[in-house]
Chain A
């Protein structure tokens, strides 16, 4: 029993001794910190000596930090130059290089050029995308329920006397103009412009456009008169005419105003008032956009080609 007592007291004393000796070799944990920085080898040596201590005193922040990974400390010492990019192990040959690097910071010529190029590219992309969305909105304004309907079914006769209906119009884009052959000045000008549009669109987008001229003056514009008249403008043009009622119905569908009286005598001289828009219809036969007189042939052709480029469905190019 006494042995047990003495033994236990001895044990106690021994532990005290151990702690005392530990304190002797390591007067204060803070005393090590300057040593670590003054010499990395010394720090590594000391730290490895003290590997056991975190187990006995795990709560001490200073020690656990130092002993966690002594090799990391020595590594971080050598890398203190490139503090902003810790992962980069670039070393500089000369002081000038380092100075130049510091002067520009993280920026360099390639980075600047890349930045500018990306900016210019994004600007162009967003602009074209915005224009495309606007065209899409215009094109889709007339599709769907509750939208104004321009165009529709018609049944007329072409310049060779063949039947031509709205069904024959689909498959390609159609450019429709309403006019009459005895038109003093505006129609011939517009038809010359239409010929320019046909050639330009054909050149840029292929054979995707069906140009149609519908007469608002059925009494005088027979198929033969239309044929003779349109031959002077463009061979691709399809000239449509019909009875007064057929023309009236077609003009109504296209919201075209026309003033031809229903009962004119042969050879009578008169003029017809009518709307002077080009109607662009998509391959489904739906109205896309009205092209007014303010457009030049070039501008109108560009507009048509842009719409053609937007078209996702089937398109007859033959």
Chain B
């Protein structure tokens, strides 16, 4: 069951059923706990130069066992998978940006892009 991870850990509250039968979504506190555990886990991965913790799952679990457990206890399984995937995507994005910068590309601020978009509409 996907929501079992919520039943353990510091939040210690499972997904409670709402008044009309469905399960309540994680609240602000639960999200905060999950994000905290995630950041702790990613810091550990950073220390050991692991980017993709799905591909290098065994190595990650072995080197950051405590953080892995806390992460999985505080976040829903789907969230754990999502955050791990996002970490890989973010790393790829950062690498691409670095490469582009090395090739002499400059960054356009969002506000300027918006102006350009509007100017092209006009």
- By a beta-carbon cutoff of 8 Å, the part of chain A in contact with chain B is 130, 133-134, 137-138, 141, 181-182, 184-185, 188, 220-225, 228-229, 232, 266-271, 294-295, 299
Contacts and interface: CB of A to CB of B under 8 A. Distances in A.
A182 B25 contact: yes
Contacts of B34: 184
B110 A294 contact: yes
Contacts of B27: 228-229, 232
A266 B122 contact: no
A225 B24 contact: yes
A184 B79 contact: yes
B25 A229 contact: yes
A177 to B, nearest CB: 15
Given A185-B35, A188-B31, A222-B18, A228 B79 contact: no
A295 B35 CA distance: 23
A225 B122 contact: no
A220 B23 contact: yes
Contacts of A188: 28, 31
Given A232-B28, A267-B2, A269-B2, A224 B20 contact: yes
A268 B22 contact: no
B67 to A, nearest CB: 18
Nearest to A188: B31
A217 to B, nearest CB: 9
B121 A268 contact: no
B17 to A, nearest CB: 9
B3 A269 contact: yes
Nearest to A223: B20
B78 A137 contact: no
A222 to B, nearest CB: 4
B121 to A, nearest CB: 6
Interface residues of B, number: 33
Chain A binding site: helix, strand, loop or mixed by DSSP? loop
Contacts of B22: 220-222, 224-225, 266
B83 A184 contact: yes
Contacts of B31: 188
B122 A137 contact: yes
A220 B3 CA distance: 13
B19 interface: yes
A302 B79 CA distance: 34
28 contacts: A130-B122, A133-B122, A137-B121, A138-B118, A182-B26, A184-B79, A184-B82, A185-B35, A220-B23, A221-B22, A222-B18, A222-B20, A225-B18, A225-B22, A225-B24, A225-B25, A228-B25, A232-B28, A266-B21, A266-B22, A266-B23, A267-B1, A267-B15, A269-B2, A269-B3, A269-B76, A269-B77, A299-B111
A225 B23 contact: yes
Contacts of B18: 222, 224-225, 228
Nearest to B77: A269
A221 B31 CA distance: 17
B18 to A, nearest CB: 4
Contacts of A137: 121-122
